[in-house]
């Protein structure tokens, strides 16, 4: 009886050792993937962080594994962002009546950490939640429609930027810095393929993602030669469409105390790159 018990323990240990050696033989080197979902903007036109106007979001990435827990990721993201004061429940915002859309292209480098050891192909190690944080840069160019005509807002200087009437107001840059924070889960369908879902929130260093930040500057937009208002004048204050214009010189147009942010939710698939190394023989 005792001999049988000892034999069972030795057999189990032998199986465990073989399983451990097998896992150590397969090295999860990297993965690359693609995902798509929805993105949302939060800022001067959406100060209450309402999630009611999501738009398209997609991305690709390459993740280099250091081990089963830690990795570094290079990613490229696209997001279509946009919002309007008309979506707000605030009467003052509805009167302001500003809106924008923007195509955002981002490249970022992030450090990811798996909560559980992730080893595709092994039953007990095929699922993990993960978190990530990084730094990136993105391009953006907000635009709006006046009638059926599309206008890029940055070149117009809707808050007096670049105008001789306001020499200290500089045009904002078309590229800004982001800090992406990621929370996700992934599951290995096989040694080769994973599925994942992730939420990424991006802090930025710009308050002009929506082209709204400072004050009204109506005197920065001279009339056209025929005496009619210029498109820039009509786009810098659109409250005339909802009543008496409110864009008095120096009146606050946006909130300069907070930068704009955006977030994305994606589902996707990734492909594993693994190598095999011969296990050392048991001495």
Extended strands (E) in the chain: 26-42, 55-65, 70-84, 99-114, 127-139, 143-146, 149-152, 175-188, 193-204, 261-276
Instruction: Give the closest residue to 262 by CA, choosing from 103, 88, 97.
Output: 103
Whether 9 is covered by a domain: the verdict is no
Instruction: Give the closest residue to 195 by CA, choosing from 184, 186, 206.
Output: 186
Whether 6 is covered by a domain: the verdict is no
Whether 230 is covered by a domain: the verdict is yes
Phi, psi for 155 (deg, rounded to 5): -65, -25
Whether 111 is covered by a domain: the verdict is yes
- What is the predicted pLDDT for the residue at 177? 98
Q: How many domains would you assign to the chain?
A: 1
Whether 233 is covered by a domain: the verdict is yes
- What is the predicted pLDDT for the residue at 19? 47
Tokens 């992030």, residue?
110
Blockwise average pLDDT, block size 10, the chain, 283 residues: 43 46 66 97 96 97 95 98 96 97 98 95 91 98 96 97 94 97 96 95 98 96 95 97 95 95 97 71 53
Whether 234 is covered by a domain: the verdict is yes
First-to-last C-alpha distance (Å) of the chain: 29
Tokens (6 digits) for 262: 């955006």
- Domain of residue 156, residue span: 27-276
Tokens (6 digits) for 15: 């199986």
Each residue of 82-135: pLDDT tens digit? Answer: 999 999 999 999 999 999 999 999 999 999 999 999 998 888 889 999 999 999
**Which CATH number fits the domain that encloses residue 272?**
2.40.160.20
Decide: 136 and 180 in contact? Cβ < 8 Å.
yes
Decide: 34 and 59 in contact? Cβ < 8 Å.
yes
Whether 120 is covered by a domain: the verdict is yes
Whether 97 is covered by a domain: the verdict is yes
User: CA-CA distance, 116 to 24, in Å (whole number)?
Assistant: 16
């Amino acid at each position: 009886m005792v001999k049988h018990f000892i034999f069972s323990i030795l057999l189990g240990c032998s199986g465990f050792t073989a399983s451990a050696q097998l896992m150590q033989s397969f090295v999860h080197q990297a993965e690359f993937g693609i995902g798509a979902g929805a993105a949302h903007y939060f800022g001067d036109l959406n100060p209450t962080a309402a999630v009611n106007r999501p738009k398209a979001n997609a991305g690709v990435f390459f993740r280099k594994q250091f081990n089963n827990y830690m990795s570094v990721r290079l990613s490229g993201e696209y997001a279509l962002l946009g919002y309007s004061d008309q979506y707000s429940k605030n009467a003052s915002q509805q009167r302001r009546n500003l809106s924008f859309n923007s195509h955002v292209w981002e490249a970022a480098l992030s450090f990811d950490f798996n909560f559980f050891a992730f080893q595709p192909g092994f039953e007990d190690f095929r699922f993990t939640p993960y978190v990530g944080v990084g730094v990136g840069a993105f391009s953006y160019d907000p635009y709006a429609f006046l009638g059926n005509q599309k206008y890029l807002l940055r070149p117009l200087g809707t808050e007096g930027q670049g105008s001789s009437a306001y020499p200290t107001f500089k045009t904002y840059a078309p590229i800004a810095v982001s800090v992406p924070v990621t929370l996700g889960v992934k599951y290995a369908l096989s040694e080769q393929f994973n599925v994942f879902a992730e939420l990424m929130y991006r802090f930025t260093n710009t308050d002009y993602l929506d082209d709204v930040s400072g004050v009204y500057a109506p005197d920065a937009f001279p009339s056209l030669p025929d005496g009619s208002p210029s498109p820039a004048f009509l786009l810098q204050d659109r409250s005339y469409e909802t009543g008496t214009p409110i864009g008095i010189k120096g009146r606050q147009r946006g909130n300069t105390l907070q930068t704009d942010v955006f977030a994305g939710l994606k589902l996707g698939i990734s492909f594993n790159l693994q190598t095999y190394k011969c296990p050392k023989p048991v001495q």
